[in-house]
Chains A and B, each alone.
Chain A
Amino acid sequence: MSAALYHRSLLESIVIYTVLGVAVLLAIFPFLYMLSLSLQSDADLFSGVPVIIPSQLQFSNYIDIWERAPFARFVLNSFIIAGGITALHLIFDPLIGYVFAKMQFPGKGAMFAAVLSTLMLPFFIRMIPLYILTAEMGWLNTYQGLIMPFAMSAYGIFLMRQFILPIPDELIEAARIDGAGELRIFFTVILPQIRPALATLGLLTFVFQFNEFLWPLIVVSTTEMRPITTGLTLFNQEFFTAWNLTATGGVLLFLPSFVLFLFTQRYFIRSVMMSGMK
């Protein structure tokens, strides 16, 4: 609403900033509490009164946790899995998007509709046959078993197609006349034009794949292949652990997303606002 139409009374301002203050506090507090817990000693934790600022910062929690479970390996696995999936998305989503946006061939409409229809087939519904398929391929407890089911997405293909459509056909025709093949056109003409969209796709894919919990829970049974999401959860279930060490693991899982968000925050938010508008 434009500022000209906006006359706020003092009371309204107070109400608005109170609401926002409460919302911000609610959003932040659990993180601060986790950070505080991660630095607390058992004495603080079981003192019977709420401790927000630990009596002494027990940084040794951050050393202890690496000794209790292979967290370094968990973190590495998460990066390999989320990174692998993101790389595949960045290659295939725009390539398939390009074919649907700029090439002519019989059956194009039907095939594009088939791709979009997969948005209606949620992962949970496909979970049981996917597990059996992965087991039959011998891919349980492997990176490819964790990566391949998420190698492309209809949503990513759709998003890339939307960004490639407005690129002028003349640009592509000119390259074709110069004798460039379709792949060459894709890499030298198309990709440079959609760099911001690629960044959006990569960022969103990485962050959400980093959080994936259900699939690794099902297909990974060995400790060393666990990503940090299931690694941390099963670590807590297998060894009874007090909240302070659990919180330390939580901070480790939280840190990559937080750092990524901190540096790309404005861009990230713009991407989300844009990707939600159809």
Chain B
Amino acid sequence: MEFLAAGFIEENIVPKFNYWVYVILMMIGLFAMITKNNLIKKLIGMAIFQTAIILFYVSIGVKAESGIPILGHEQHHEIVEEGRASSEVIKKEKFANPLPHVLMLTAIVVGVSTLGLALAISQRIYGSFNTLEEDEILDQLRPGGHD
């Protein structure tokens, strides 16, 4: 019975599970960005949204038999020292697709820089309005509001 259940999961859930979770995380992040009142909470939602996109890209690059996209010592030796053709030594399905990794690697570092900029702006907002709650800021900005 248990074995049967494991097979069921592998056939019906595993092939699409990453994509479902990326949609769920994206919905969580988007919902937080739209409805949360606190600016820090909005930024956490934005970061979750960003990781959802990265999850989507990295999931695309996975192959069932793949390891990491780095050549082993033996393969490196065979190609560079012994001069064998790389298309004979390297099996394409043994390596994860490196292209999404490169794109996402830079996206993560740029993401933290933009997160820092957003945090800096929210600190300035706190300095001016003494609150991080969106509705209180809007109250103070409205003409005739207090302050």
Indicate whether A and B interact.
no
